[in-house]
Amino acid sequence: MESKPAQFTPNHLPPFGRAGAGLLIQQLLQGDKKSLARCITIVENEMDGYQEILTSLKFKKSTPVIGVTGPPGAGKSTLINAVIKKLTEQGKSIGILAIDPTSPFNYGSLLGDRLRMSEHFTNENVFIRSLATRGSLGGLSASIIEIVDVMRAFGFDYIIVETVGVGQSEVEIVGLADTTILVLVPESGDEVQTLKSGVMEIADVFVINKSDREGASIFMKNIIQLVQYKPKSNWSIPVIKAVAVKYEGVDEVIEAINKHQLVGVNTKRPYLLAEKAYRLIQNYRMKDVSKKILQQQIETELKKTDFNLYRFVQSIIKQ
């Protein structure tokens, strides 16, 4: 008879080294999805034992992390859905992290994975988790680096991270993903001018989604010309036409991902790790700063007629 996984109360995780926490991590490394979900919850909320989980992670294989970014409405979720379907048909296991805007009321995720990727929700080869940005700039969650590493330890064949779609500030995805896919649509012509100094610079693969619309061919030519001006490397950046809702171009996207893993990851690895280390140190040093408490303090200070935001900030820094 198969034994059931041990039950844990996330807020009271036993210290690492005791049987409970050790079993949780062991089950994660053995591919238990319930343990994976618990570990993500503990790490995301920095509950007791989260540091022990992170320092005990072991990576069984090199799992590519695919970042999917682009303006709102470009069809990122639709493209990811199509990629998931194709990969699972090949027997691949996939972990999905969908980064959603934060509710201003409960700091939770406004959009749910069940709404956007419900057709894959019961697929045994797919694990989907929504994370809220919780005030983090750049379209990512504050704990995204740690959570991605927890998922890498689980041993997925692919990990896909979908960002919020906030525009130019999403360049921080390059500090996380081995391969970054920028999804655009033919109507993105005006947006490219504002994107190209940020997001346009970090894409490893361009996908022109909804390319059955008018102007797609001209827009694609313009993107190809922009790509030609990027610094030369051992990776020739592909520009792929796709209609994700019809699964057109999806095979080409997967082929580009697999090819980039062979030539692109090693050249970016030192930069990726430096970016990750920077984010971790930054998050650690900001750990004792609460936006909610700041708001409460400012509400009190605003009652004073001589309130000065810069004096207020200086008083916080000097504490």
Q: Which string of DSSP letters, residue by residue, matches 274-285?
A: HHHHHHHHHHHH
pLDDT of residue 273: 72
**Contact in structure between 200 and 192 (CB atoms under 8 Å):** yes
Instruction: Please measure the distance between the N-terminal and C-terminal CA atoms of the chain and give it in whole angstroms.
Output: 58
Retrieve residue 130's tokens.
Answer: 């929504």
pLDDT of residue 225: 83
Dihedral, CA of residue 167, residue 171, residue 176 and residue 179, to nearest 10: 90
pLDDT of residue 13: 44
pLDDT of residue 192: 65
Which of 93, 125, 126, 131 lies closest to 112 in space, CA to CA?
A: 131
Q: Which domains are seen in the chain, by residue range? A: 10-55 (no CATH), 65-272 (3.40.50.300), 290-319 (no CATH)
| pLDDT tens track, the chain, 319 positions | 444 444 444 444 444 444 456 788 889 888 899 999 999 988 888 888 888 888 888 888 889 999 998 888 888 989 999 999 999 999 999 999 988 654 333 344 344 444 556 677 778 899 998 886 544 444 455 678 889 999 999 999 999 998 866 443 455 666 678 898 999 999 876 666 656 555 667 788 999 999 999 989 988 988 888 887 666 677 889 999 999 999 999 999 999 999 998 886 555 667 767 877 887 788 778 878 888 899 999 999 999 888 889 889 888 887 7
pLDDT of residue 101: 54
**Contact in structure between 78 and 245 (CB atoms under 8 Å):** yes
Residues 6+ apart with CB under 8 A from 43: 50, 53, 54, 143, 146, 147, 150
Q: Which CA distances in Å does 301 have to 141, 306, 314?
A: 30, 9, 14
